């Protein structure tokens, strides 16, 4: 997203929020107040990050029937964009609002940064946070690589203010969904995230591992958000981002341009946080898909 376009869109969003508040109530307007009014307050949000697909390679593709069922019953962001290439900086952007100086996929030193991030913000606010990582050898393991597992897709390990024991194995994803954290990330391994395997493999993995949660979320004040780290270098980093759950208008689409920083800010808002990490401070909430 170009800087002038981003600034123009945010000015329009702010003006619309200010007008609505002035008409409906007395008292000063602030961006935080407007954002809070526009977003639902789900009990649980699960974020799944997949890999290396452009929007057109998923939405409408018969090799991704489950993802397209989520589009039909939820919302598609038709102009969702990653921040950069390659993979790892996008994970940091989505989790902390900044690439943290990372420009490649090399393993990082655990706890190298103390910058604010979604996990640290949730914990500081007394909320719960966790990640569920396929292939992680054991809870809290900060190893670089292990078979089809890669540390580069687990940005929480880069932050000293996020306890390593909040990084769980995929087998620890609870069958009782009420036991889920307020916000959690689910990270498939290098095959199931579509990085090393085909689209249908990742689509089936999503249905098998998150399908029951998605169905439950529809009637239990919860949300599933599926996004991608980056595209395949073919589409100006335009990626699929799909939101599904009780508060989402079924079959809705938004053509507003959003990026990973906007998604992070929205996750913060959905959790009721009043703080914003990195570039999420100047990002915009996703406000046009809720019912």
- The answer, yes or no, to whether residue 16 has pLDDT greater than 50, is no
40-282 has CATH 3.40.720.10 classification: yes
How much is the pLDDT for 164? 98
How much is the pLDDT for 33? 29
Measure the CA angle with vertex 172, ends 245 and 125; round to 5°.
Answer: 65
Neighbours of 129 (CB within 10 A): 22
How much is the pLDDT for 8? 41
Domains in the chain: boundaries: 1-38, 40-282
Residues 207-229 pLDDT 10s: 999 999 999 999 999 999 999 99
Short-list 130, 108, 103, CA closest to 118: 130
Segment 50-70 mean pLDDT? 98
User: What are the CB-based long-range contacts (under 8 Å, 24+) for 171-176?
Assistant: 172/132, 172/139, 173/132, 173/209
> Which residue would you say has higher pLDDT here, 230 or 12?
230
| Three-class secondary structure of residue 57 per DSSP | helix
How much is the pLDDT for 34? 31
How much is the pLDDT for 179? 98
The size of the chain, in residues, is: 291
Q: Taking a C-beta distance cutoff of 8 angstroms, is the pair 124, 117 a contact?
A: no
Pairing of strands 129-133, 167-169: parallel
Residues 118-165 pLDDT 10s: 999 999 999 999 999 999 999 999 999 999 999 999 999 999 999 999
């Amino acid at each position: 997203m170009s800087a002038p376009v981003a600034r123009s869109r945010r000015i329009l969003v702010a003006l619309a929020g200010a007008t609505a508040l002035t008409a409906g109530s007395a008292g000063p307007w602030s961006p935080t107040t407007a954002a809070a009014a526009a977003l639902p307050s789900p009990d649980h949000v699960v974020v799944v990050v997949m890999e290396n697909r452009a929007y057109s390679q998923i939405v409408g593709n018969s090799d991704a029937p489950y993802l397209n069922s989520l589009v039909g019953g939820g919302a598609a962001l038709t102009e969702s964009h990653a921040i950069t290439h390659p993979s790892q900086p996008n994970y940091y952007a989505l989790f902390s609002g900044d690439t943290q100086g990372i420009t490649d996929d090399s393993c990082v030193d655990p706890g190298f940064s103390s910058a604010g991030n979604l996990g640290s913000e949730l914990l500081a606010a007394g909320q719960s946070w966790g990640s569920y990582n396929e292939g992680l050898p054991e809870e809290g393991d900060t190893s670089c690589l292990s078979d089809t597992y890669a540390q580069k897709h687990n940005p929480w390990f880069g932050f000293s203010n996020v306890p390593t024991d909040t990084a769980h194995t995929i087998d620890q994803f609870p069958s009782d969904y009420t036991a889920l954290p307020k916000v959690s990330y689910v990270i498939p391994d290098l095959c199931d995230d579509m990085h090393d395997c085909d689209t249908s493999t990742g689509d089936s993995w999503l249905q098998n591992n998150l399908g029951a949660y998605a169905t439950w979320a529809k009637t239990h004040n919860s949300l599933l958000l599926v996004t991608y780290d980056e595209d395949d270098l073919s589409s100006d980093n335009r990626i699929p981002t799909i939101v599904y759950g009780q508060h989402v208008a079924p079959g809705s689409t938004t053509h507003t341009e959003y990026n990973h920083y906007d998604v992070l800010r929205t996750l913060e808002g959905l959790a009721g946080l009043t703080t914003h990490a990195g570039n999420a401070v100047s990002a915009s909430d996703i406000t046009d898909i809720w019912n």
